[in-house]
Structure 1
């Protein structure tokens, strides 16, 4: 059964404190914090709970309430799909049983925006698949992990040491849940941090599917040149041009620029030694 058939979303000006009892309520799905605003998600209408939160959080205002399906929130259907021999599917809809032709990845998107079907996510997963099946990739740093899909894909493809980072706490919690669902606790470490502050972590492959505002600082880090490979994604055409211009001034080789939809760009490269 899809637990996200219907979402009740409460939009706050300010970040309310949600008590432990409210967090343990099975209808509470999480809080998405963005700067000085927050969205609280429930699987049923929670007006009484919200009234209590407002009374306990002085100075916090409820701006609006939304009711929508999970598919409306995510902007896509939550259903199985394939990237090469990887099959990504929600916990309530497994499309196969013990099929050796596919590596299954169970992905519960929670209420973190996106089902993994965004062009940049699929392009990153495609390139991770290529590198992990053709080269020896022992360690990956996944910055802006979101639901953790790229890290899960790397682990499913045999990578032993995967670090999944996101600055958004709800994204980290969602990734942790997906790590447990796929029994990758021994391969993936998920944690909260700013991407530009952890560039120094050693790894064979750096993957960053993030906003350009963060990317532009990361590519100036000297630690980029210490990676064996890098995948940079989440870039519109004008942003990709700026990134490529900056990288042209460094000792790196751009192997591929993917932009199949003509809008979103993903760059594969490696430092020259």
Structure 2
């Protein structure tokens, strides 16, 4: 398999077009990233004529800017194999040769969703998931803000029997679904689109949320939050972490660890008390 993101052609639009199946089924179309009332169309080759056709079918929308860059420039990081504990995370077109059986492999196609898994918060979450899954009985996981699905994949490969991967962004859910199929975890991981604060009633042993503070503050206030035995909260800046910890201090919760190795991004590991 070759790297499909070697060269990206990105079209920034001032609206959200309806992309019909005639475009979705074209191999060079990589997806649409939607952010409020703007969108980005991704192609693996020059696609001005195709975009012009899309705009003709979607009146009132125009191209703001066009970009050409590599997938690594878009993600802001190299797309290459790396390791977290005994997990090897690698793109499907660059799989390390040889494995003595001690390494668990996760194939991760990052698509055009931001992130290769190397952000500090993602690595910290994956490290804590590894710690919990290898030292406690974690049967079910709810992953809110799943992105590419890496944290859900990590939980599944570490033995969790039921993993629910939730993201509000449709392209992120599609990317997670693709990675579930790549790793043959269709029977362990369910990916779906929803707002994190609206699904807190789903029971699980471990809640993982690597999300924005504006969502997390509502999530931890839900009464069902206390029904989660373990939780890993991440994606928080220092000032936001203080607010989250202050809110959690009012609940019957034990904070096991707060980590911030880069001095910027925080991750919290905690447990609800019986």
Offset of residue 98 of structure 1: 3.9
Match of 1:27 in 2: 28
Match of 1:194 in 2: 195
Match of 1:185 in 2: 186
Offset of residue 272 of structure 1: 1.0
Give me the CA root mean square deviation: 0.6
Offset of residue 61 of structure 1: 1.6
Match of 2:218 in 1: 217
Match of 1:68 in 2: 69
Q: Distance in 2 between matches of 1:177 and 1:98?
A: 24
Q: Distance in 2 between matches of 1:97 and 1:49?
A: 43
Match of 2:79 in 1: 78
Offset of residue 10 of structure 1: 0.3
Match of 2:253 in 1: 252
Matches within 5 A, 1:1-273: 1-273=2-274
Which residues of structure 2 form unaligned runs of 5+? none
Offset of residue 2 of structure 1: 1.0
Q: Distance in 2 between matches of 1:203 and 1:18?
A: 36
Q: Distance in 1 between matches of 2:64 and 2:105?
A: 40
Offset of residue 101 of structure 1: 1.3
Q: Distance in 2 between matches of 1:220 and 1:19?
A: 40
Greater than 4 Å deviation, 4+ residue runs: none
- Deviation sequence 1:216-256 (CA, Å, 0-9, x none): 10010111111110000000011111100110111100000
- Deviation sequence 1:181-230 (CA, Å, 0-9, x none): 00000100000000000000000000000000100100101111111100
TM-score normalised by the chain length of structure 2: 0.99
Q: Distance in 2 between matches of 1:92 and 1:125?
A: 22
Q: Distance in 2 between matches of 1:96 and 1:264?
A: 33
Report how many residues are paired.
273
The residue matched to 2:203 in structure 1 has which SS?
coil
Which residues of structure 1 form unaligned runs of 5+? none
Q: Distance in 1 between matches of 2:171 and 2:48?
A: 22
Q: Distance in 2 between matches of 1:161 and 1:19?
A: 33
Q: Distance in 2 between matches of 1:18 and 1:265?
A: 37
- Deviation sequence 1:79-116 (CA, Å, 0-9, x none): 00000000000000001334311000000000001000
TM-score normalised by the chain length of structure 1: 0.99
